[in-house]
Amino acid sequence: MPHDQDYIEIFEQYGPVCIDLGPGVMNDLSAEFLLSAEKPVVTFVIGGKSITKSGARADLTSMMLHYDFESRIVCDIPAEPDLDDVARIREAIAQSASTEVVAIGGGSVLDAAKAAWAAHQSGLDVSDLFGSGKISEKFPGKEFKRIIAIPTTAGTGSEVTPYANIVDRAAGVKRLIADKQVIPRMALIDPYYGRSMPESLTAATALDALTHNIESLLNISAPETKFARNDLAVYGASLIRDNLPLVFRDPNDVNARERLCAAATIGGMQIAERPTSLPHLASFSFYGRIPHGIAAAMLLPPFWRYYLGKKAVAERTMLLAEVFPGKTPEEIVDAVAAFIAEYAGVSSLSALPCFDAAMVDKIASDAGKNPMKLASAPRPVALENAAGIISGILKKEL
C-alpha cells in the first residue's frame, strides 16, 4: 500500500485529469487562462455562504481584479442541485457565450456545472443525459470541453469522476449522469478551503470518501486498472482513518486536511472505474433528509454484511485488515462500522430519525430505477428480486 504523501506522485501520473493539490489554486487558474491561446470567457459556478467563509470567494474576486478576462458568476448553487439549478447555469453559459466553466464548491456545485456544460454543448435536455454514456453515444468521436473543478470540501471526488448527480423533483429521485465527457479537465484542490467547514460537514464528506474507497474495493466484478486498484482504495481508506480524527482535534490542521482531500480524490479515481453499488444506490433515496455522506456510510455495513455471502468479497475485505484491524471479514466490517458511527455521530441506521419502515419501502422501490448498480453489485441482485432482497437487508436494521 502507498504511504503518507505518495498521493503527490499518484496525482502527477494521473492522465484523465490534471490534478494540482496545494495552496494558492487561484494562481494556478489564472496561469491556465493566461497561457490559453484565446482570451477566455468564463462562467464561474459557485456555492453559497460556505464559499465566502472558506476564503475561496475572496481569492476569486482578487484574481478577477488582477486579470482581465470576461466572466459571469452563477452563485448559490445549493446542496443536491436539481434540474432548475442546472438550467440557471446553462442559461448563463449561453448568454455569455462562455468558452470555459469553472466550478468552485462542494460536489453538488461541481455536478451541476458538469451537467450544464455538457447539456449546453450537446444541445440536449439534461434529462436526456441521465444514464450511462448517453452523450458519448449520441456524439461518437466528439470531444466536449470539460470543466475546471475547484472542490472546497473533501468528499465526493467529483473533481475526477465521470458522474453528475442531479435531483429530478418531478420524479422524486436523484438521477445520475455517467459519461467520460463530464470528467473535469483540471482539479485544483486547496486544503486551506476546508478549514471553515463545520465538523458535521467535515465528517459527512470524509465518510462519503471512505465509502467510495471501500465500495470500489469491494467491487469484485470490475477489474483493477492502473489507478483503480485494491492497494489505492485501501490507501484512500487509511488516509481517512488516520486524518479524520486529527481534523476533529484541530480543524486548522492543514496537513491532515490535505490528506483528507487526497483521500477524496483517490476515492473519486476508484469509483470512476470501479463504481459504487448498493449502499450508494440506497443513499439516493435519502436526498433532502440527511447529508449524502452520512446516508451512504451508514448504509455501507448492512449491505457489506450481505455481500460477505460471496467468498471473493470476504477475501477482498481482509485487505482492509491493516487499516481496520480484525481477524475475520465480519470483525473488519464491525471496525469500519464503529469508526463511521463515531464520526457520523449516529450509533446505527435505526437511530436516524428518517429511517423507518416507510423509508425501507421507498429504498426498495427506488432501487429498481437503477438496474446498472443492481447488476454490478459485488453480490448481484436481479431486478425482479431487488425490492425483496433490499428490504430484507434493511428491515433487520429497523
Q: Which residues sit at the interface with Fe ion, rule CB under 5 A?
A: 208, 296
> Contact at 8 Å (CB) between 81 and 127?
no
- Assigned C-alpha cell, 324: 481496520
H or E element in which residue 394 lies? helix 386-395
The one-character DSSP state at 102 is E
Min dist. Cβ of residue 241 to Fe ion (A): 18
- Least Å from the CB of residue 178 to Fe ion: 13
Please say which residue, 147 or 296, places its beta carbon nearer to Fe ion: 296
Nearer to Fe ion, 100 or 366 (CB): 366
CB of 269 to Fe ion, least distance (A): 14
Q: How many CB atoms lie within 10 A of CB 392?
A: 13
Judged by beta carbon, residue 227 or residue 286, the one nearer Fe ion is 286
CA distance 33 to 369: 41
* Phi, psi (deg, nearest 5) at residue 45: -110, 120
Tell me the three-class secondary structure of 187-253, residue by residue.
Answer: EEECHHHHHHCCHHHHHHHHHHHHHHHHHHHHCCCCCCCCCCCHHHHHHHHHHHHHHHHHHHHCCCC
In this complex, which beta carbon is closest to Fe ion, that of residue 71 or of residue 184? 184
Q: Please identify, using beta-carbon distances, which residue of 208 and 273 lies nearer to Fe ion.
A: 208
- Nearest residue by C-beta to Fe ion? 208
- Residue 280 Cβ, how far from Fe ion at the closest point, in Å? 6
CB nearer to Fe ion: pick between 190 and 208: 208
Q: Are 282 and 367 in contact (CB under 8 A)?
A: yes
User: From the CB of 339, what's the least distance to Fe ion, in Å?
Assistant: 17
Q: Are 110 and 149 in contact (CB under 8 A)?
A: yes
> Residue 297 CB, nearest distance to Fe ion (Å)?
9
